Structure formats: C-alpha cells, structure tokens
Amino acid sequence: MTKKQDNETKEEEEISIMDLPGVGAATAEKLETSGYGDLMSIAVATPGQLVEASGIGETTARKIISAARNSLEMGFESGDDILKKRQNVMKIKLGCDNINKLLGGGFETGAITECFGEYGSGKTQIAHVLPVRLYKQDPSATSVFIDTENTFRPERIVELAKGAGVDPKKVLKQIKVARAYNSDHQMLLAEKVTDLINKKNLNVRLVIVDSLTSHFRAEFVGRGTLAERQQKLNQHMHVLLRISDSHQICVYVTNQVMSRPDVFFGDPTAAIGGHIVAHSSTFRIYLRKGKKGSRVAKLVDSPNLPEGSTPFYIETDGLKDF
C-alpha cells in the first residue's frame, strides 16, 4: 500500500502494519509480540514505547508512527452518531437498586469498570453476580471469566442463579472460565477473547479479570521492575479497552489496594497499578467493609456520573440494599 488514495477505498482491516514503510517481517513480528500488532496501537504509541518494545531505532519509530497516523482515518464522528452508538449500550443491573443507581443504571458495556478494595470487600462476589445478572437480562449472552487467583466458584454461581430466579445450569453454560497462571498467560487470554467472538461466534457481552493485578504484583518485585510492570499492564489494559470498545463488551476488573505509609489523614490505601489502570478504566469503584457486615461502594471516577457512595449487603442469594 503506497498511495493514500488507495487506502481510502479500502477497509481499515486490510492495511496491516507490514504496509508501513520500514516495517519488514522481522520488525512486524517484534511489534506484534509486544502488543503493537495493529495500526491504531502504533498510531497512539510514543517513539520511546516502540523503541523499547521492538528494538528499532528512534528515527524509524517516528516514521512508523507518523505513517500509521496518516494511513488511519482518525475518525471524527459526529455527536449524534455517538449518541446513536450509545443507545446500543447495555447496562448490567445487579439486583441491588442502590448500586444500579450509583452506576447510572448498571455496569456498562463498551467500558472498563475497575473495582478496588481490601481483601474480603466483595470484588470477587461482584464478579460472580455479574454473569448471573447478565444471563437474566440476555440469556444468549456469554460471559468470560479470566481467573488469576483460583477464586471462580461454580457453586456460588448456582446459589446466585437460584437467588435471581434463573436456571443455574444454563447460567453456568454461558460462562467461559480460564485460569491464568502468570501475567503473560493472562495477557494472552485477554487477546483470545476475540477468537471466541469471531471463530466460535459467541455473543460475548462481559469479560471479567479477577484479579487484574495480582500476577503483575507478584512477578515484578522491587523498584527496578516497576517501569516494565507498568508497561505490560498498559498493554493489557489497551487490549481490554479495544475489546470493550469494538465489541460492546462490559469489562470488569478487580484490583487490590496497598497501604500507603505516607498518608496520615484520610484513607491510607491506594489501588495497585497506579495511573495506568486508573486512567484506562472508565468507571472506578472503591469497595470497603462497612458497619454491621455491610459493604460500601463508592464511585470515584466516571465520565458522566456524580461521585457518590452507597452501602449494600452480600447475601447468599445476591447483593441486597442496605
């Protein structure tokens, strides 16, 4: 592909990174394996990221990025088109009005929702409630559960399905579970979600990663490894973002907190993954334990909703209003 005019008549998918000047088979492979396998991810990358990822020189990186930018129809859409698109947004309701209200109706498709909080705060419980509730709303929809801590419990799905008044066996059939044994495996599984959609023809509407950060946290210890960890997390979030956006999928990720010894006033906890995870998530919920065995969900970041918080209970048959 040499002339820009040629590109304009072709579908975006037909142009590959091999069509970029200076990208031969070897470089393409390096770029692909480090998460820059499509034009968009290259177009939005910095030269430094490409240099680090593929070992090419900085001048080449600049040229590649600029060519990727030129070849993409960096689509400006009119506001009414986006509004139309947003009418296809589905909101997964939790069966707990307060939380639904907090989230403006429920967990949105086409977005990443991050839930962070201390152990036992209910992050994994929500990860079990979501596929059950999705089934109740749309029995044809499939949920994907990427399980990094071996916390997926079909027995819990059965209880919650009974609580929601749906057939537990049918719900379990609509959930595809994969254990991720390390961070690379986890990243690969996220990329494979598109295979379920394109090759197996599944109507995937929900992807859960529980927990998003535990492998990364365990594998990259010590200060010297922080940059690498953040770069990999960034790639992972990028893949999840693309899945959510291009297939109208609700992505739900859980995240632990660490204590911050430097904070004396207010809440001395901070989410793992820092700005990378925070900025890639569309909605962020902070969960904590409240009074009398309750939990408190606080919406801390959202593009269109006010911050707010609400208490709720975790019960055998589901989440309940306080």
Positions that interact with Mg ion (CB under 5 A): 123-124
CA-based Rg of the chain, rounded to a whole angstrom?
21
- Binding flag, residue 154, ligand GTP (CB under 6 A): no
> Which of Mg ion, ligand GTP, none does 57 bind, CB closer than 5 to 8 A by kind?
none
For residue 176, the surrounding DSSP H or E stretch is strand 175-179
> CB of residue 143 vs Mg ion: minimum separation in angstroms?
17
> Which of Mg ion, ligand GTP, none does 110 bind, CB closer than 5 to 8 A by kind?
none
The Cα 91–Cα 93 span in angstroms is 6
**Part of the chain binding ligand GTP (CB under 6 A), chosen from 28-36, 179-187, 268-276, 310-318:** 310-318
Nearer to ligand GTP, 191 or 219 (CB): 219
> CB of residue 83 vs ligand GTP: minimum separation in angstroms?
35
Could you tell me the maximum CA-CA distance found in the chain, to the nearest angstrom? 67
> Which of ligand GTP, Mg ion, none does 284 bind, CB closer than 5 to 8 A by kind?
none
Nearer to ligand GTP, 110 or 117 (CB): 117
- Binding flag, residue 270, ligand GTP (CB under 6 A): no
293: left (phi over 0), alpha (psi -120 to 50) or beta: left
How many residues touch ligand GTP (CB under 6 A)?
12
- Binding flag, residue 41, ligand GTP (CB under 6 A): no
Q: Enumerate the β-bridge partners of residue 95.
A: none
Q: 171 near 137, Cβ under 8 Å?
A: no
Transcribe 245-304 into DSSP letters. Answer: HHTT-EEEEEE-EEE-TT--SS--EEETTHHHHHHH-SEEEEEEE-GGG-EEEEEEE-SS
Between 201 and 230, how does the x/- string for binding to ligand GTP read (CB under 6 A)? ------------------------------
For residue 145, the surrounding DSSP H or E stretch is strand 142-147
> Which of ligand GTP, Mg ion, none does 117 bind, CB closer than 5 to 8 A by kind?
ligand GTP
- Binding flag, residue 150, ligand GTP (CB under 6 A): no
Residue recorded with tokens 């200076």: 22
Which of 124, 186, 281, 302: binder of ligand GTP (CB under 6 A)?
Answer: 124
- Binding flag, residue 314, ligand GTP (CB under 6 A): yes
Burial of 274 (0-12, 13-18, 19+ CB in 10 A): middle
Nearer to ligand GTP, 119 or 264 (CB): 119
- Binding flag, residue 310, ligand GTP (CB under 6 A): no
Encoding tokens for residue 43?
A: 């177009």
For residue 318, the surrounding DSSP H or E stretch is strand 318-321
Percentages helix, strand, coil for the chain, rounded to the nearest 5? Answer: 45, 20, 35
- Binding flag, residue 117, ligand GTP (CB under 6 A): yes
Nearer to ligand GTP, 74 or 258 (CB): 258
Q: Pairing state of beta strands 318-321 and 308-315? A: antiparallel
- Binding flag, residue 280, ligand GTP (CB under 6 A): no
- Binding flag, residue 48, ligand GTP (CB under 6 A): no
Site residues (vs ligand GTP, CB under 6 A): 117, 119-125, 256, 314-316
